[in-house]
């Protein structure tokens, strides 16, 4: 079904197409766009070979475009610099203006397409995506049907400056300079297991756990919880270690051990009875969840609406840690 554009969208579209008409009529006074693309690529990469590779063109094609552009302008844009090229003073001024013009065109194209169809790209760590975000995301999708959501999970920091994502739900200690960041949720660590496993090993406060199979992630050791629980023990040298806390939860549900996990990830399974928390002790995680985005994206409708939604969800998320369950 084709969506009928609103009044503001129609006015923006008319303005944009008026600009295109003006450019079309002025095109006989403008250099070739292909030549300008070649020029910008050479200026960025400092040589014809790398520019040709970036544009997927031949070396001779790029050289031809640069010669044609210089002939048309009557200006030398590059000087030889070793095995590469460097911009002349005229070339530097021209490059700055042309790159700004291309950026304006790209922004205009992005604005006109996103005004019709909105997309939100969210990056977060895989455990949070699987255990907390995805079970709740249907509410956001149903309340914002005009926004297409793309969720990507990664345990590596997201490069927001490159446009890799619109929003990053980061898990770390901060700070995050150069971008908008906001604390979303602090978290706590405690052991969980299946109900059958708890009965099998008779797990409760002050229970002996030397013979209990222990599971944890590579970045969340047991030692802080041992101290909180008053247990004198060294960090386990054996047992199962995971690089993804969601896998600890699945292994614990299957009765494979006692897993040290975060409250945010285990909550749904505890409420559903798939897991139990046999010990009352807990310890605050050294890391927290942060909402991050580029500052120029903060006020865009998809980011604004998602930020409002996730803050509402977290405000209603139980953060109180009660006794053993």
pLDDT score of 1 more than 70: no
pLDDT score of 298 more than 70: yes
Element (H, E) at 312: helix 301-315
Rounded Cα–Cα distance for residues 241 and 220 (Å): 10
Any idea what the CATH number is for the domain that residue 43 is in?
A: 1.10.10.10
48 near 63, Cβ under 8 Å?
yes
Any idea what the CATH number is for the domain that residue 173 is in?
A: 3.40.190.10
Residue among 277, 238, 280, 237 nearest 261 (CA): 277
The SS3 of residue 291 is strand
* Same structural domain, 127 and 110: no
pLDDT score of 266 more than 90: yes
* Same structural domain, 279 and 192: yes
- 197-256 per-position pLDDT tens digit: 999 999 999 888 888 999 988 889 999 999 999 988 888 877 788 989 999 999 999 999
* Same structural domain, 254 and 310: no
Rounded Cα–Cα distance for residues 84 and 151 (Å): 41
| Predicted local confidence at residue 4, as pLDDT | 37
Is the peptide bond prior to 239 cis by the omega test (within 30 degrees of 0)? no
The tokens describing 102, both together, are 């291309």
Higher pLDDT among residues 93 and 164, named by residue? 93
**Beta strands at 258-262 and 214-217: parallel, antiparallel or unpaired:** parallel
264 near 128, Cβ under 8 Å?
yes
Query: What is the reported pTM?
Result: 0.65
* Same structural domain, 180 and 192: no
* Same structural domain, 39 and 85: yes
Inter-helix orientation angle 48-55/33-45, to 10°? 120
What residues does 204 pair with on adjacent strands?
A: none
Inter-helix orientation angle 48-55/59-73, to 10°? 110
Q: Does 321 fall in a domain?
A: no
| Predicted local confidence at residue 116, as pLDDT | 55
Q: Does 254 fall in a domain?
A: yes
pLDDT score of 12 more than 90: no
Q: Does 199 fall in a domain?
A: yes
276 near 270, Cβ under 8 Å?
yes
212 near 257, Cβ under 8 Å?
yes
- pLDDT, average across residues 38-58: 92
pLDDT mean across residues, the chain: 87
pLDDT score of 21 more than 70: no
Give the domain extent around 219: 188-283
Higher pLDDT among residues 322 and 20, named by residue? 322
The tokens describing 157, both together, are 């920091």
DSSP H helices in 33-151: 33-45, 48-55, 59-73, 89-116, 126-128, 134-143
* Same structural domain, 266 and 300: no
**Beta strands at 167-172 and 118-124: parallel, antiparallel or unpaired:** parallel
The tokens describing 256, both together, are 């494979």
């Amino acid at each position: 079904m084709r969506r009928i554009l609103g009044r503001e969208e129609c006015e923006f579209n008319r303005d944009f197409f008026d600009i295109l008409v003006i450019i079309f009529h002025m095109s006989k006074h403008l250099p070739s766009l292909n030549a300008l693309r070649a020029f910008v690529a050479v200026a960025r990469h400092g040589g014809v070979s790398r520019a040709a590779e970036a544009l997927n063109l031949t070396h001779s094609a790029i050289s031809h475009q640069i010669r044609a552009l210089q002939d048309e302008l009557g200006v030398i844009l590059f000087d030889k610099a070793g095995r590469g090229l460097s911009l002349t003073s005229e070339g530097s001024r021209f490059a700055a203006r042309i790159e700004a013009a291309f950026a304006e065109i790209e922004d205009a194209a992005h604005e006109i397409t996103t005004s019709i169809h909105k997309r939100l790209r969210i990056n977060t760590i895989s455990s949070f995506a699987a255990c907390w975000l995805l079970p709740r995301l249907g509410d956001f999708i149903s309340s914002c049907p005009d926004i297409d959501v793309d969720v990507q999970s990664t345990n590596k920091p997201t490069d927001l400056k490159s446009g890799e994502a619109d929003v990053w739900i980061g898990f770390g200690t901060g700070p995050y300079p150069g971008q908008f960041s906001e604390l979303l949720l602090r978290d706590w660590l405690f052991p969980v297991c299946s109900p059958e496993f708890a009965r099998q090993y008779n797990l409760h406060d002050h229970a002996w756990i030397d013979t209990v199979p222990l599971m944890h992630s590579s970045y969340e050791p047991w030692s802080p919880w041992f101290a909180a629980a008053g247990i004198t023990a060294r960090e386990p040298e054996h047992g199962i270690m995971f690089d993804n806390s969601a896998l600890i939860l699945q292994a614990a549900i299957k009765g494979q051990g006692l897993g040290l996990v975060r409250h945010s990830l285990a909550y749904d399974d505890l409420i559903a009875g798939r897991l139990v928390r046999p010990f009352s002790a807990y310890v605050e995680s050294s890391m927290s969840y942060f909402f991050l985005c580029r500052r120029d994206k903060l006020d865009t409708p998809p980011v604004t609406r998602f930020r409002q939604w996730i803050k509402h969800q977290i405000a209603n998320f139980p953060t109180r840690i009660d006794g053993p369950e």
